[in-house]
Amino acid sequence: MSSEQSLSANTSVQYVKGVGPKRAEILKKSDVKTALDLLYYFPRRHLDRTSVTKIRDLTKGITTTVVAKVEAGGMRSARKKKYYQLMVNDNTGFMKCTWFNAAQYMEKVFSVSDEVAFHGKVDFYNGYQMVHPEYDILSDEEREPLNTGAVIPIYPTGESLKKMGLESRGFRRIIKACIDAYELDELEFMSKEMVDEQSLSPLTSALQHIHFAPDVETLSGAVRRLKFDEHFFLQLLMALRKTIITEQSGRTMTEVGPYVKQIYETLGFELTGAQKRVLKEIRTDMASPEVMNRLLQGDVGSGKTIVAILASAVAVGNSAQVAVMAPTEILAHQHYHVFKSYLDAVRVPTALLVGKQKSTERKKILAAIQEGRVNVVVGTHAIIQDEVTFQDLGLVIIDEQQRFGVLQRGKLLSKGDNPDILAMTATPIPRTLAITYHGDMELSLLDEMPKHHQPVTTRIVEVEKIEKVYSFMAEEMKKGRQCMVVYPLIDESEKMDLEAAVEGCKRLEKQFSDFVTALLHGRMKREEKDDIMDRFVGNEIQLLVSTTVIEVGIDVPNATIMLIENAERFGLTQLHQLRGRIGRGSEKGYCILVQRNITANSRKRLAIMERTSDGFEISDEDLKLRGPGEFYGTRQHGYPKWKIADLVNDGQIIRDARKAAFKIVKVDPHLTDPANKKIRLRFMKDYQQMLEMVNIG
């Protein structure tokens, strides 16, 4: 193909002028396979010459961009450590740029007189310096603002790309060639009316200006349009899924049935106003001919489980079966015991289904489920296996639903004939995340704590004060109460973390030799874990040392102290979940956060835990600090990888995109209108893996 010919969506990137076969092979590793992929290879940031800071105006602690000329550079050493250092000058002053553990290749990166844009945090040590700054060597054209405008795109470039001449400068050349040869107008999928209604830039302009903007205002318009597109298609997915679910005829469960009142009379406590309100919302949904698709969101200790039990009692009272799916075996066992304690009293048969069960026991349970002799099944993802067949599944309850992928949830729903769905989460979800990940569901909020609930006192301690904490723990255990010590268990360092927990348990056994101490972690056999938890619940074990397997669901009212080791390594939401495991009885609860690796950021984060016990406030802070992927702790299966969208800061764009998507689907629920043809085609291309969920393929 001649480089003079026009490019289109499926043209191999090698035919873009300046690319060729060798560069194309390297670009493939960055998921750039076609000319369209190259257009959507967005800058990681932009160098705005209007906001560059002069060296004379620097202050310690700011993060900024400095454009300066290299005066000298080379390897240095101090205290047996080698590092690479540059001395740079912008005619207003000098600054050092330092890279530790730098490979020898750094000496080949810069030359004296290079003009470079350095971006990083400013420190002061015998003069201003940046440590490990991001850098971009500016070409002759880029040095002169009149030739390039004020905004320069800076692209993600690894070493393999740089070796092929594809640093930011190289990318600008090939992307410019791609834009010049591409029929950009063919990419617009929105009608002019929709573009105008949403005050968006046309896609043609947005794709040009994300790479080559004449000014910051134009760049801002391009960014908004491209963010809107990514949010729009996910919201379109949510709108289509919601329509598919609500279009289906569900079961009309108008009867309250005999079990709800009987269970209610055995509670021994008054439901909160929030629990009563939520139960009314659930009852209304279940009585409707439309399928219920509701998310029950409540902070730790707000009483979601009893709501789920009463909803199950309604379903069973209408001759339907119930499936309750939990993310871990420990939580499944705990739910099973709680459900069983209430349902046994009203003679509703309950069964547990998890991965590690004897085959004879499993066969009996499977037969009882299939024949309808079991009304409520509690389990892990073992419930969704092919061999599990329900006689009449009418209600699906999914606990901590964000831990399951979309397809796993879909498989469970396929076990029944359009069953009602009640998802639950103890993770208070910021509004933007709720709209994004649960936008196809109605939301019920348990925003009121039971009257007997006491807030847990949280304190940060440093290692020097640990002995005082141990004395406090011993006093509590002498009074007959129990304590937990939690160690981090992070995937990347699981082996070392496990060893730390084992060693920690040994030390604590010596420290608290007058009490019974036991270790609990995820690699133990189920029988061993169950035995330890049963003994802890029965106060045969006074001190439980654990990894994060106790994060959700463990309920031991007699436990009053939780000590969390290396608290700075946990996310705030996870710390809040852990804290919710104590103070669940009549005695006051205490959460001690041991900080071992102290940084300004860790102090700031942990101080939030001391300040508030409001899960929503904590979740908002956690989202800002860590981003959505880490917020949930597990990757959202089936969702696309966004290139430019940002859940933390895109709140208004998400709301606008949601409104636009739901408006389209309300009028055209299957996207068959000719006006929506391009939207449909783009959706089918980008959401191929999700099409079975919406049935428009």
pLDDT one-digit tens code per residue, 634-672 = 344 445 567 898 877 888 999 999 999 999 999 998 899
Task: Give the CATH number for residue 113.
Answer: 2.40.50.140
Instruction: Give, as one character, the DSSP assignment of residue 327.
Output: S
Count of alpha carbons within 13 angstroms of residue 97, beta-carbon side: 28
**What angle do helix axes 259-266 and 329-345 make, rounded to 10 degrees?**
100
According to the model, what pLDDT value does residue 513 have?
Answer: 94
* Number of independent structural domains in the chain: 2
- Residue 206 falls inside a structural domain: no
Please count the residues of the chain. 697
Cα distance between residue 208 and residue 294, in whole Å: 42
Angle, CA of 213, 53 and 154, to the nearest 5° = 35
Region of residue 559 (phi > 0: left; psi between -120 and 50: alpha; otherwise: beta): beta
Answer whether 228's CB lies under 8 Å from 198's CB: yes
According to the model, what pLDDT value does residue 408 have?
Answer: 62
Cα distance between residue 22 and residue 351, in whole Å: 60
Cα distance between residue 304 and residue 404, in whole Å: 18
Residues 6+ away with beta carbon under 8 Å from 118: 65, 66, 67, 68, 88, 95, 97, 130, 133, 134, 135
Task: Give the CATH number for residue 506.
Answer: 3.40.50.300
Count of alpha carbons within 13 angstroms of residue 220, beta-carbon side: 5
According to the model, what pLDDT value does residue 156 have?
Answer: 85
Cα distance between residue 120 and residue 574, in whole Å: 30
- Residue 272 falls inside a structural domain: no
Q: Is 525 exposed, middle or buried (0-12, 13-18, 19+ CB in 10 A)?
A: exposed
Higher pLDDT: 217 or 533? It is 217
CA proximity to 618, closest of 488, 443, 444, 430 = 430
* Last-in-domain residue among 578, 612, 646: 612
According to the model, what pLDDT value does residue 403 have?
Answer: 62
According to the model, what pLDDT value does residue 150 have?
Answer: 67
The lowest-confidence range among 62-76, 121-135, 365-379, 527-541 is 527-541
- Residue 481 falls inside a structural domain: yes
Q: Tell me how crowded residue 234 is: count the other CB atoms within 10 A of its CB.
A: 24
- Residue 486 falls inside a structural domain: yes
According to the model, what pLDDT value does residue 637 have?
Answer: 44
Residues 246-289: tens digit of each pLDDT: 777 778 998 888 999 999 888 888 899 999 999 999 999 999 98
For 108-128, the DSSP string reads HH--TT-EEEEEEEEEESSSE
Domain that holds residue 468: 457-612
Residues 6+ away with beta carbon under 8 Å from 269: 450, 452
- Residue 395 falls inside a structural domain: no
What totals of helices (H) and strands (E) does the chain contain, helices first? 27, 21
CA separation, residue 351 to residues 51, 340, 378, 383 (Å) = 64, 8, 6, 11
According to the model, what pLDDT value does residue 146 have?
Answer: 33
In the block, which residue shows the tokens 């428009």? 696
Cα distance between residue 176 and residue 628, in whole Å: 33
What pLDDT band is residue 609 in, cutting at 50, 70 and 90?
very high
Mean pLDDT, the chain, rounded, equals 85
In the block, which residue shows the tokens 């700011």? 62
The lowest-confidence range among 454-458, 558-562, 686-690 is 686-690
In the block, which residue shows the tokens 């996310």? 571
H or E segment to which residue 627 belongs:
none
Angle, CA of 224, 222 and 19, to the nearest 5° = 130
- Residue 38 falls inside a structural domain: no
Residues 165-207: tens digit of each pLDDT: 888 878 989 999 999 999 899 999 999 999 999 999 999 999 9
Instruction: Give, as one character, the DSSP assignment of residue 70.
Output: E
According to the model, what pLDDT value does residue 553 have?
Answer: 53
Looking at residues 512-522, what average pLDDT do you find? Answer: 92
Answer whether 648's CB lies under 8 Å from 624's CB: yes
According to the model, what pLDDT value does residue 143 have?
Answer: 52
Answer whether 422's CB lies under 8 Å from 397's CB: yes
Cα distance between residue 489 and residue 593, in whole Å: 16
Q: Tell me how crowded residue 98 is: count the other CB atoms within 10 A of its CB.
A: 17
- Residue 598 forms beta bridges with which residues? none
For 538-590, the DSSP string reads TTS-SEEEE-GGGSSS---TTEEEEEETTGGGS-HHHHHHHHTTSS-SSS--E
Count of alpha carbons within 13 angstroms of residue 308, beta-carbon side: 32
Answer whether 296's CB lies under 8 Å from 423's CB: yes
For 436-483, the DSSP string reads HHSTTSEEEEE----TT--PPEEEEEEGGGHHHHHHHHHHHHHTT-EE
* Last-in-domain residue among 136, 154, 172: 154
Has residue 335 got a pLDDT over 80? yes
Residues 128-155: tens digit of each pLDDT: 999 988 887 776 555 544 334 568 888 8
According to the model, what pLDDT value does residue 692 have?
Answer: 54
Looking at residues 428-446, what average pLDDT do you find? Answer: 77
* Six token digits for residue 283: 């009852």
- Residue 72 falls inside a structural domain: yes
Cα distance between residue 35 and residue 358, in whole Å: 55
* Last-in-domain residue among 154, 188, 217: 154
According to the model, what pLDDT value does residue 102 have?
Answer: 61
Instruction: Give, as one character, the DSSP assignment of residue 372.
Output: T
Q: Tell me how crowded residue 508 is: count the other CB atoms within 10 A of its CB.
A: 20
Has residue 497 got a pLDDT over 60? yes
* Six token digits for residue 640: 């696309």
- Residue 460 forms beta bridges with which residues? 593
Angle, CA of 482, 486 and 490, to the nearest 5° = 160
Answer whether 122's CB lies under 8 Å from 132's CB: no
Q: Positive or negative, the Cα torsion across 307, 311, 316, 317?
A: positive
Amino acid in the structure at residue 531? D
- Residue 522 falls inside a structural domain: yes
What pLDDT band is residue 479 in, cutting at 50, 70 and 90?
very high
According to the model, what pLDDT value does residue 334 have?
Answer: 83
CA proximity to 388, closest of 418, 415, 351 = 415
Residues 210-239: tens digit of each pLDDT: 999 988 899 999 999 999 999 999 899 889
Q: Is 103 exposed, middle or buried (0-12, 13-18, 19+ CB in 10 A)?
A: exposed
Residues 6+ away with beta carbon under 8 Å from 329: 354, 355, 356, 380, 526, 529
